Amino acid sequence: MKKGIYDVLKGVALSSTALLLVFISPMIAKSEVQKEKEVAYNEENWQEFYSAPGKCIMKFPVKPEHFTEKMSVPEEGYDLKYDAYISSVGKQTVFMLLVAQYPEFVDESYAQLSLESFLNGILRHNPGNQLIFADLILVEGHEALDFFIRTGNVYFKGRAMMVKNSLYLMAMECEVQSYDEKPYNIFINSFHLSN
């Protein structure tokens, strides 16, 4: 994989243009932030999206961009295929669904270990990542991990879960001053498996 998932999100989510805009013209930036909040708060406008890989349904504030990647894991002897769906609300907030397909021999019996390894990988990726919280929960009968991470002035909050040999990552990334629980809850609670 050329770039890590977190790197892709960082590139999409927080452009230097948005930060520059805040310093150059607070009135314009404030009106843009207000428009972004209106989009994020109005659940009626959120679009339900079906992912064939992973067989799941999730709502996004705007139609997500779709990326498919294949990552070689030579130390384990297999390839990991994933589909990422990224929906940006202005330049302040990004919502993402990642569905990673592991080989058939990887299954849910190792869910807790896989989820903890996933979280540790995110934390090790950048020494500036600070874990605010992480909780193991059950979602639709499957083990999941809710997490909240801060890196400088950016929050990365989400949920990861294993179902059979698939890892689902649902996350929101935003600047600290743009953080709002309501759109995050709309997003995270809209996820459903669709066998």
Q: Say what the pLDDT of residue 5 is.
A: 40
Q: What is the mean pLDDT of residues 48-53?
A: 85
**For 96-155, what is each residue's pLDDT tens digit?**
999 988 777 666 666 788 888 888 888 888 889 999 999 999 999 999 999 999 999 999
Q: What is the mean pLDDT of residues 153-175?
A: 92
Q: Say what the pLDDT of residue 108 is.
A: 63
Q: Say what the pLDDT of residue 59 is.
A: 95
Instruction: Identify the CATH number of the domain defined by range 5-193.
Output: 3.40.1000.10
Task: Give pTM, 2 decimals.
Answer: 0.75
CB neighbours (10 Å) of residue 152? 12
Q: Say what the pLDDT of residue 17 is.
A: 25
Q: Say what the pLDDT of residue 61 is.
A: 93
Given a cut of 70, is residue 164 above it in pLDDT? yes
8 A C-beta contact, residue 115 and residue 136:
yes
Given a cut of 70, is residue 1 above it in pLDDT? no
8 A C-beta contact, residue 73 and residue 80:
yes
CA angle (90, 96, 98) in 5-degree steps? 160
Q: Say what the pLDDT of residue 22 is.
A: 29
Please choose, from the candidates 115, 122, 182, the residue with its C-alpha nearest in 3D space to the C-alpha of residue 154.
122
Half-sphere exposure of 194 (CA within 13 A, CB side): 14
C-alpha 93/C-alpha 88 separation (Å) is 6
Given a cut of 60, is residue 7 above it in pLDDT? no
Q: Say what the pLDDT of residue 23 is.
A: 29
Q: Say what the pLDDT of residue 113 is.
A: 81
Share of the chain above pLDDT 70, in %: 73
User: What ranges do the domains of the chain cover?
Assistant: 5-193
